Amino acid sequence: MYVFLKFCDIEKVISNVSVDDDCLPMVDGATPVSPGGQHGVSVEAIHWFKALAMEAVYIDCSSRDARWCAKTVADQMVTTIPDPPLSPVRLRRNPKKTIALTPAPPPKQFMPETARPLFSQHPQMLHFDPNVDEMFERAEDILTSMNQGKMSNEDVQREVAQLLHVHVFPAVCFVKADAPVLEGCLRRITVKIRSVEREIMQKEQAINITETSLNKQKDRIVAQEELARDSYVRMCNRSFLDAFYVHVTKDIQTLNVSLELIQGKVNLLKRTSEDVAKLQVLKQERDGIHERLEILMQIREAIRNVLYRPHILQKKQKKRRKARPQEENCLHNIFLEVHETLKILKEDLKRLCYKKLHFSSMREAIEATLKVIKQDSGEVQGDLSEFSVLSTIEDRNTTWQSMQTKLSAWMEDKECPLYKVHMDGCQLIEDMSRSMLSDFELASMGLEPSDVTLVNLGDGDAKKSDHGVPGDSKSANLDAIFTSAGDATGGQLNVDARAHMVDVIKDQVKNHSWDMADRIVRKMGFDPKCNRHVNRAWLCYMPHFCNTALAAVERVYFHFHSKKVARLQKMVSSLALADIMDEKFFADLFVNSLARDSGRHRTSDDSNFELLTLARSHSMESLAAVSLDLQRCSVTDLYAIANKDGARLQQRLELDSVGCFSSASVVSHSGSDSGEEKGGSRLGRKDSSSVSPSGDPLHPKDASPSDSSDSGASVHSDDLFSAEDPSSEKQASSTITSSQTVASVVGLFESIVQPFHELVQNVLDCPDFFQKLQAVWRTNKFLSEKVTLHCRSNGMDSLLPMSIFAIVSLRKELFVRYYVQLLMLIDFKPDFCLHSMYDFSLMNAYSPYMFLFEHQVRSTVVTPESNV
């Protein structure tokens, strides 16, 4: 595998990145070593199998972009040949021949077009990932140091290995298309495991033979030499005594165990058996072991006296030495040689066992990855730590962990001073929050974010609330709660005092988080004056703070902002469509949406589409009247119409499926746009007033239109096409009975509102500051995809219609919590992230709401006379 690094005009290539035969990282054809050491670093190399499946990694520090390319099955067929050099081969110049000058080829791109992004997040989200920033900083340091000649080859290998181990390999994701490549990696690992198993068997046989030879040599020395005497032992070589003492001690332990077992058998036979011969054999064996044990214990004591209890000679006392024969030295030398051979064999066996263990764990990781991607479970990402066989990293001198990993370990250690400072600061913020809530006198009313949904609804009411239909009991109760909450707080504290208290807790949160960032930088040994390190430490710490104290701060923001946010939601919901869009956009979006959606599924033999188009354009005067009537409707009225028509269409569709729906019946329909407010017009019957907005039957006297404070009386869909020709109405009714058209209308309505509700709920459920930001980005992106295309084609800005839809389609309590959290995220955003906030959609999601809230929009009713 290759590693391509680029920073400004500096480009470097590191080749031959793989896993060696000992399952250790290998960079540039060599195993990285620890600083000042000669042995390879001992790290968990399970996810280094990805080097076998990857062709290259590209890291561009200037553009903060990182990509990678996967190998092909053909690339994996060659396993023994190293990576070829990347430098172009220079052609020999031939002076006898003239070569025509050709134009220089275009500059080659640093990253190929087929390269995949290394990180699955959106590029703007990478600004909030401390691991990504640390990866680019490490790559910059490697490039600048190599360019200035400050790094040796060993340092480059170690730094690149750390870069891949900590940041690159954990971020690499595999998909289903990578299954053949991973299967090739699995076969290579399996072949290595089988080779290691054969080596283990050979080592075990060699160890057994060597131990037998060593025992024979040891018995010969014990029988021929007087090792039980201290004077004789002092004449022996010290290296021989060290080795012989180890084996004698081991034999004594083994003989003690054997003696206890045989003595137990003897005692058992004495009590239960009358077999004298068998008892006599056991006694002889016991006596032999006892004699052997006695001799070895005397030898051990003599060697111990010489090695660990040196004899102190008196002054002027000469030591008499006995000359050792030549044969004795030969026995000792042979014993030492066999002992060293046995020691080497055991070390090799231990290394092979560890190698097999690492390769087996790597094989399990590959099999688990293949299982996930073959089940279409999406991408597989992570460091595969669940297959780890090393509990800790043995090499403490190298930084084989990211800043976030180190901080997480400190936060789990309750004895760490950093953890104690963290808990003290969070406890202070929680105490301040409780004090403010008591000053607001809202704690006794139970107005907390988790208590907003205390009023339970039935299934029918909940369904209406999901579509943003007004008038349900839950919205009425919530209005009463917000009103009482505002009265209670207004009587105790004025707005300025409460705003000052919120500013105090906001400043306390900022001071605590930045103080912790400074402490983290100092503890890790970085320069506290380096803003890049401090900012990264702040990003690493915020998840720990959010898990501890963010809920208390959120409650304070909710109690302070909930009243005006509820008023904003109520005001925007009552706006007339004429106030937020022009007539051309409105007519195309609502009136012609059904015909446009039907045209998407049009075929060459489909005559229903032609009839439908003619019927819809039969009377332009009726179309203008319908447009004006719909513009008088408020957004909530249009939701009521859409919900009512959708329920009625669903009933007729069910009747049609069982054969009970007659061909002469009239079918109503509802139009919906592709990403904004969904309303519609339909061809209806005169008795439609007997159906409620949710599809339930109503008494005729209860079928009066609902009032709208801003747009006057709302208009029901039954009266929208009353001026049309009856014949054209009948013709259109007979052509809209297509099940495809009905399914598209009903499905489109549900496919926009429900996913948007889930995305907003995800914003509220995220416990982390940056997870909330990412959820806000996904929410805004969903609406943008649904609205932007249509608005741009009509020359309109999609931001305001998108925000109107976000307000009206959400339930009141859901929108209040969502808007309050937007305010909180904006208050706590760091200065170094300001340039990314706009791209992160935080300001895009907030600005239109504030525009609608600060500017009083007055609705105007457009009359047919004024339109003429």
pLDDT of residue 830: 77
pLDDT band with cut points at 50, 70 and 90 for residue 666: very low
Most confident stretch, 143-147, 488-492, 608-612? 143-147
More confident residue, 697 or 306: 306
Rg of the chain (C-alpha set): 41
pLDDT tens digits, 809-822: 677 888 888 888 88
User: For residues 611 and 735, is the Cβ–Cβ distance under 8 A?
Assistant: yes
CA 341, 344, 350, 351 torsion: positive or negative?
negative
Q: In this structure, what is the dihedral angle of CA atoms 211, 213, 217, 222, given to the nearest 10 degrees?
A: 50
pLDDT of residue 361: 85
Give the three-class secondary structure for 30. strand
pLDDT tens digits, 372-424: 888 765 555 555 655 665 544 444 444 578 888 888 888 888 888 889 999 99
pLDDT of residue 236: 84
User: For residues 806 and 756, is the Cβ–Cβ distance under 8 A?
Assistant: yes
pLDDT of residue 454: 30
pTM, whole model, 2 decimals? 0.62
Q: What is the percentage of the chain residues whose pLDDT exceeds 70?
A: 55
pLDDT of residue 208: 93
Most confident stretch, 129-138, 577-586, 705-714, 841-850? 129-138
Q: How far apart are CA 383 and CA 388, in angstroms?
A: 9
In this prediction, residues 427-450 reach a mean pLDDT of: 67
Q: What is the percentage of the chain residues whose pLDDT exceeds 90?
A: 6
User: For residues 336 and 342, is the Cβ–Cβ distance under 8 A?
Assistant: no
Nearest to 394 by CA among 750, 43, 718, 709: 43
Other CB atoms within 10 A of residue 191 CB: 12
pLDDT exceeds 50 at position 604: no
pLDDT band with cut points at 50, 70 and 90 for residue 89: very low
pLDDT of residue 599: 45
In this prediction, residues 579-591 reach a mean pLDDT of: 48
pLDDT tens digits, 635-664: 555 555 555 555 555 555 555 544 433 333
pLDDT tens digits, 480-502: 433 444 444 444 445 677 788 88
Q: How far apart are CA 294 and CA 226, in angstroms?
A: 14
pLDDT band with cut points at 50, 70 and 90 for residue 468: very low
pLDDT tens digits, 159-216: 888 888 888 888 888 888 888 888 888 898 899 999 999 999 999 999 999 999 999 9
pLDDT band with cut points at 50, 70 and 90 for residue 740: very low
In this prediction, residues 590-601 reach a mean pLDDT of: 43
pLDDT band with cut points at 50, 70 and 90 for residue 518: very high
Q: Could you tell me how many helices (H) and strands (E) the chain has, helices first?
A: 28, 9
Most confident stretch, 225-229, 324-328, 344-348, 399-403? 344-348
Most confident stretch, 41-45, 350-354, 813-817, 826-830? 350-354
pLDDT exceeds 80 at position 254: yes
pLDDT of residue 310: 64
Instruction: Give the range among 274-283, 378-387, 461-470 with minimum mean pLDDT.
Output: 461-470
pLDDT exceeds 60 at position 245: yes
CB neighbour list of residue 521: distance below 8 Å, 6 or more residues apart: 527, 528, 530, 533, 534, 537
pLDDT of residue 593: 45
Q: How far apart are CA 430 and CA 438, in angstroms?
A: 12
Nearest to 764 by CA among 675, 825, 846, 840: 825
In this prediction, residues 420-448 reach a mean pLDDT of: 75
pLDDT tens digits, 526-579: 888 888 888 888 888 988 998 888 888 888 888 888 888 887 777 766 655 554
Residue type present at position 7? F
More confident residue, 175 or 328: 175
Q: How far apart are CA 471 and CA 644, in angstroms?
A: 14
pLDDT of residue 776: 81
pLDDT band with cut points at 50, 70 and 90 for residue 585: very low
pLDDT exceeds 80 at position 143: yes
Nearest to 126 by CA among 542, 543, 526, 536: 536
What are residue 174's DSSP bridge partners?
Answer: 380
Mean pLDDT, the chain, rounded, equals 68
Most confident stretch, 50-54, 571-575, 803-807? 50-54
pLDDT band with cut points at 50, 70 and 90 for residue 222: confident
Report the alpha-carbon angle 306-311-313, nearest 5: 145
Q: In this structure, what is the dihedral angle of CA atoms 602, 607, 609, 610, given to the nearest 10 degrees?
A: 130
Report the alpha-carbon angle 282-284-287, nearest 5: 110
pLDDT band with cut points at 50, 70 and 90 for residue 734: very low
Most confident stretch, 246-250, 706-710, 753-757? 246-250
Nearest to 400 by CA among 162, 237, 241, 585: 162
